[in-house]
Chain A
Amino acid sequence: MLPPVSAPAALPAPIFDPYAGYSEPRMLADAAKAGDWRAVDAGFARLTDPDVRHHAIGKVANAAERYFLEDVAAAEPTSVLAGTLLASRLITDGWDIRTGSWGKDVSREQWKAFSEHLHRAEQTLIEVTARDPGQATAWKLRLDIARGLSLGQAEARRRYDHVAPHFLPAQEAMVQQLCPKWSGSYEAMHGFAVECVKASPPGSPNGVAVALAHIEHWLLIDRDEGGPAAAAYLARHDVQGELRWAAEHSVFNPAARPSPGWVTGHSAFAMAFSLAENHAAAAAHFNALLRAGNYADDDSWRYLGDEHAEFVAHRRRAFQRGFSR
């Protein structure tokens, strides 16, 4: 393990973008903003890494003007890229209308607009996956739609089964799908997460599925029983053991290499251990991120409110208490 960094108070703020080191997604987003479809299309043709491609699709879809994506999709009805970009944007816009609130707090009008956006996205993606069933991002987006529209657990699993193995974004979507707030169960969610880890090659970032499942579990206990009960859940001996096992199989495995997925993994493990007040374990993950360029993924940290401030505060606390012994 890497030695701790001294003077924790003076740490620079992390770069909350695991893909900050990649220039292509940024360039593609700029081209899309400028309305240059040829450059976007040609740029994506060069992106072969499925994770980077997936990230780029989301970034481009959100950066471009929506009418630009609609025009391109209409002009090129057989383009899987144009369809996927438009669908990705429709899902984001739909979810923005719905907001991330608990289902009971969403108004009728919000539900209607949300459904309409998701229906449109889904019908676009049905065409995309029919043309090219190997489009991992399209299937992952269809998993998000299945969850948003409550299309059913077997249907979600059917969609997941079309994704190439070990595609982390789809596994994250499946953990969400299987958690009780989306009509799943704790058993199904944790079972799935453990399977993801067992099936993945050592050193791959897929161990994070276990951390994400425990964070979802924590969130529901926090809502229903309050913070202390939720923290006590994460601190349970078996939960801690499973988190350590998953971390050692993935981000802390000797075969692991820094990558955006690796950043996502450490960020989620750090959160789970920190919420459990296992400061030493949390500090180890925070430290790995810091040593690898001070990158972080704020995704799961959003559950805590101001995700950037929370990350920094938890990191400070972990370094102070975790390394003081």
Chain B
Amino acid sequence: MIRETEVDGVQTLLARKSGPLVAGLTFRVGRADETLATAGITHLLEHLALHHNGLSDYHYNGATGSVVTHFHMQGSPDDIARYLNGVCAALANLPMARLEMEKGILRTEAAGRKRGVNDSLPLWRYGAQGYGLVSYEEMGLPRLTPDDLRRWAATWFTRQNAVLWIASDRVPAGLRLHLPEGVRRPVPRPSSALPTTPAYFSDRVNGVVYDTVVRRSAAAQVFSAVLEREMYRSLRQDGGYSYVASTSYDPRGDGFATVTALADALPDKQDAVLGGFVDLLAKLRVGRIDQADIASVRTKAEEALRHEERDAARLPGAAMNALTGQPNQPGEQLLDEIRAVTADDVRAVAVEATAAGLLLVPDGLDAEWAGYRPAPTFSTSAVDGRSYGSRQNDRLGLVIGAEGVSLVDGTHQVTVRYAECAVALAWPDGGRHLIGLDGIAVRVEPTLYAVPPDQIARLDASVPPGSLVWQPAREPSAIPQPSAGQTITSASPAAKRGPATTAGLVVLIVLAAVMGVLTLLCGAVIVSADPVANPDDAILRDPVTYTMFGVTLAVTIGFAVGAVLVARRRRAA
């Protein structure tokens, strides 16, 4: 049973648990509340609030999600009190001296983060705003000032916009939550970048990724689990097309939940994974649902919810429910709801899921045959304005107008209107990268188009206040140069040149150089040998010596050819 109380005006949830004490302070703010031009501000604030904790021996952490931010820790009641008191104190008086340092740490964290195959789906579904922002890097970091952070803290990190949760039946003595007054903030309304669903897009993935939004319910939860079992059976066990086949169910905070499904593909089986996935979704939609699957999902739920410490385990989720205005039902009631789910309920969710589906398929495949419409990769219109020809492709033109910028090639266009510009990344060399709220991007590169500097200045003045984000100067090699075959790029994030290729190239050059020196030495020895004058030198004119010379020469050539090939591929990428 989760008990509710209050600590210094902060709504508090308590549920007993054995073992070490766990507690957390959760705020109703996350990446979906940011804009692309402030993206990263919540995460940066979370880091600053935790900095004073330093490297201590207890376990604490912070986590910035889509609509909530957690500060949580495990330790003694005293540790917990000290930790949370410290978080509140730091929020009131942010260590601004650490600002640039923490920005750097966040950039390092982002560089080391492994991108998942499903990371891009929110961008395609919601665009470059709200729930879509989790697909993007923390682009706002360079322009965030101490004032921005103080305002953010005062708006979101307030007494009314927080929930404290403790896995214990009592509040640790000495815990004081000094937070400013504010209001409980509603979750953002979802935006949409998809004119119609079901929709699909393609990218460099090895398999199929799917997500959909359904009303949050026990039936939707069972649907997600049944879908996973169906995928495992049909794509892995029976078909042998996939190794990974899994789903997840994540409440969005507004009465809806996202169901995400992922199936990888063995080489040459990508088309079959797509076909198999379309078919198994149809199977659930027409109601051919295995009763054994529902029974198994129920058993798992019973095990999880019968667990003695189930309520303590549910605390972080319960805090999110409380903050987003969603009901927190007792465990027994949740279990009853799961038990009551019928095959027909699951079928109804499958119908709802299909209608809202977004499918990511491997490059080269499409899903129109299965009834999925292509998600927009181009804009429906271009802006009026002055056109600047591309230095490398006669058909390509950059239009800068009073309302925005467009790239046009006669057939397609991509447009960012200033009024709907989410961010304008700016480099000192004049390069600009505009991303619209719909996720469609236009790159303005003076090296590629003959754009005069006054037009760049006009562009900078036209984008919404605060959306211009200055970037550090680029390496000359990072500034695009004219090359044949430049085309309009779509909203999909461009593939980057990997550091692995660079490392490989260096290794190959070093190996080629070492072997080259050995070859030269070997050759020199053979040439300088004088068997007539010195009988000992006879061995140096032996076939074995010549063979050795040949081998080292061949290996040198091998490494050199390898290096040239890698370098060419690197340039092509």
A-to-B contact residues, CB < 8 Å? 78, 115, 118-119, 122-123, 126-127, 129-131, 145-146, 149, 151-155, 157-159
Tell whether, in the assembled complex, residue A130 and residue B275 are in contact, meaning their CB atoms are under 8 Å apart.
no
Contacts of B268 in A (CB 8 A): 153-154
Contacts of A152 in B (CB 8 A): 270-272, 275, 365
Given contacts A122-B370, A123-B370, A154-B241, contact A130 B285 (CB under 8 A): yes
Given contacts A154-B241, A154-B270, A158-B275, contact A130 B286 (CB under 8 A): yes
Tell whether, in the assembled complex, residue B283 and residue A151 are in contact, meaning their CB atoms are under 8 Å apart.
no
Contacts of B283 in A (CB 8 A): 130
Residue B276 is within 8 A (CB to CB) of chain A in the complex: yes
Closest A-B pairs by Cβ, 3 of them:
A152-B271, A130-B282, A154-B272
A–B complex contacts, Cβ < 8 Å, 19 sampled: A78-B286, A118-B369, A123-B371, A126-B370, A130-B282, A130-B283, A130-B286, A131-B286, A145-B369, A151-B369, A152-B275, A152-B365, A153-B271, A154-B268, A155-B271, A155-B272, A157-B272, A158-B241, A158-B276
Contacts of B275 in A (CB 8 A): 146, 151-152, 155, 158-159
Q: What number of B residues sit within 8 Å (CB to CB) of A?
A: 22
Least Cβ distance of B377 to chain A in Å? 19
In angstroms, Cα B278 to Cα A118, docked, is 16
Contacts of B278 in A (CB 8 A): 126
User: What is the 8 Å Cβ interface bit string for chain B, positions 336-376, against chain A (1 contact, 0 not)?
Assistant: 00000000000000000000000000000100111100000
Contacts of B269 in A (CB 8 A): 154
Tell whether, in the assembled complex, residue B286 and residue A122 are in contact, meaning their CB atoms are under 8 Å apart.
no
User: Which of B279, B288, B365, B369 has the largest number of chain A CB atoms within 10 A?
Assistant: B369
Contacts of A119 in B (CB 8 A): 368-369, 371
Residue B440 is within 8 A (CB to CB) of chain A in the complex: no
Tell whether, in the assembled complex, residue A149 and residue B288 are in contact, meaning their CB atoms are under 8 Å apart.
no
User: Which of B239, B271, B285, B371 has the largest number of chain A CB atoms within 10 A?
Assistant: B271
Least Cβ distance of B366 to chain A in Å? 9
Tell whether, in the assembled complex, residue B272 and residue A129 are in contact, meaning their CB atoms are under 8 Å apart.
no
Residue B425 is within 8 A (CB to CB) of chain A in the complex: no
Chain B residue nearest to A131 in the complex (CB): B286
In angstroms, Cα B250 to Cα A89, docked, is 43
In angstroms, Cα B283 to Cα A119, docked, is 18
Chain B residue nearest to A148 in the complex (CB): B369
Chain B residue nearest to A77 in the complex (CB): B286
Residue B199 is within 8 A (CB to CB) of chain A in the complex: no
Contacts of B225 in A (CB 8 A): none
Residue B274 is within 8 A (CB to CB) of chain A in the complex: yes
Contacts of B285 in A (CB 8 A): 130
Contacts of B274 in A (CB 8 A): 155
In angstroms, Cα B366 to Cα A119, docked, is 12
Chain A residue nearest to B278 in the complex (CB): A126
Given contacts A154-B271, A155-B272, contact A131 B241 (CB under 8 A): no
List 4 extra interface pairs beyond A130-B288, A153-B271, CB under 8 A: A115-B369, A129-B279, A131-B288, A158-B241
Chain B residue nearest to A157 in the complex (CB): B272
Tell whether, in the assembled complex, residue A126 and residue B279 are in contact, meaning their CB atoms are under 8 Å apart.
yes
Tell whether, in the assembled complex, residue A158 and residue B286 are in contact, meaning their CB atoms are under 8 Å apart.
no
User: Which residues of chain B in 276-296 are interfacial with respect to chain A, using CB atoms and an 8 Å cutoff?
Assistant: 276, 278-279, 282-283, 285-286, 288
Tell whether, in the assembled complex, residue A122 and residue B369 are in contact, meaning their CB atoms are under 8 Å apart.
yes
In angstroms, Cα B369 to Cα A118, docked, is 8
In angstroms, Cα B268 to Cα A149, docked, is 18
Least Cβ distance of B552 to chain A in Å? 42
Least Cβ distance of A127 to chain B in Å? 6
In angstroms, Cα B373 to Cα A119, docked, is 12
Chain B residue nearest to A158 in the complex (CB): B272
Contacts of A155 in B (CB 8 A): 271-272, 274-275
User: Which residues of chain B in 184-215 are interfacial with respect to chain A, using CB atoms and an 8 Å cutoff?
Assistant: none
User: Which of A130, A151, A153, A157 has the largest number of chain B CB atoms within 10 A?
Assistant: A130
Tell whether, in the assembled complex, residue A149 and residue B369 are in contact, meaning their CB atoms are under 8 Å apart.
yes
User: What is the 8 Å Cβ interface bit string for chain B, positions 298-322, against chain A (1 contact, 0 not)?
Assistant: 0000000000000000000000000
Contacts of B279 in A (CB 8 A): 126, 129-130
User: What is the 8 Å Cβ interface bit string for chain B, positions 514-535, against chain A (1 contact, 0 not)?
Assistant: 0000000000000000000000
In angstroms, Cα B16 to Cα A196, docked, is 66
Contacts of A154 in B (CB 8 A): 241, 268-272
From the candidates A118, A127, A145, name the one contacting B286 in the complex (CB within 8 A).
A127
User: Which residues of chain B in 206-265 are interfacial with respect to chain A, using CB atoms and an 8 Å cutoff?
Assistant: 239, 241
Contacts of B286 in A (CB 8 A): 78, 127, 130-131
Chain B residue nearest to A78 in the complex (CB): B286
Least Cβ distance of A216 to chain B in Å? 22
Contacts of A115 in B (CB 8 A): 368-369
Contacts of A145 in B (CB 8 A): 369
Chain A residue nearest to B238 in the complex (CB): A161
Chain B residue nearest to A161 in the complex (CB): B239
User: Which of A126, A152, A153, A154 has the largest number of chain B CB atoms within 10 A?
Assistant: A154
Least Cβ distance of B364 to chain A in Å? 9
In angstroms, Cα B272 to Cα A158, docked, is 6
Contacts of A131 in B (CB 8 A): 286, 288
Contacts of A151 in B (CB 8 A): 271, 275, 369
Contacts of A123 in B (CB 8 A): 369-371
Chain A residue nearest to B274 in the complex (CB): A155
Tell whether, in the assembled complex, residue B370 and residue A158 are in contact, meaning their CB atoms are under 8 Å apart.
no
In angstroms, Cα B269 to Cα A155, docked, is 8
Contacts of B365 in A (CB 8 A): 152
Least Cβ distance of A148 to chain B in Å? 10
In angstroms, Cα B310 to Cα A17, docked, is 70
Chain A residue nearest to B239 in the complex (CB): A158
Contacts of A78 in B (CB 8 A): 286
In angstroms, Cα B365 to Cα A126, docked, is 18
User: Which of A118, A131, A146 has the largest number of chain B CB atoms within 10 A?
Assistant: A131
Least Cβ distance of B268 to chain A in Å? 6
Contacts of B282 in A (CB 8 A): 126-127, 129-130
In angstroms, Cα B371 to Cα A146, docked, is 15
Least Cβ distance of A125 to chain B in Å? 10
Contacts of A118 in B (CB 8 A): 369
Least Cβ distance of B418 to chain A in Å? 37
In angstroms, Cα B269 to Cα A131, docked, is 25
In angstroms, Cα B239 to Cα A131, docked, is 19
Chain A residue nearest to B273 in the complex (CB): A154
In angstroms, Cα B208 to Cα A155, docked, is 14
Least Cβ distance of A199 to chain B in Å? 19
Least Cβ distance of A310 to chain B in Å? 36
Contacts of B370 in A (CB 8 A): 122-123, 126
Least Cβ distance of B186 to chain A in Å? 39
In angstroms, Cα B365 to Cα A130, docked, is 22
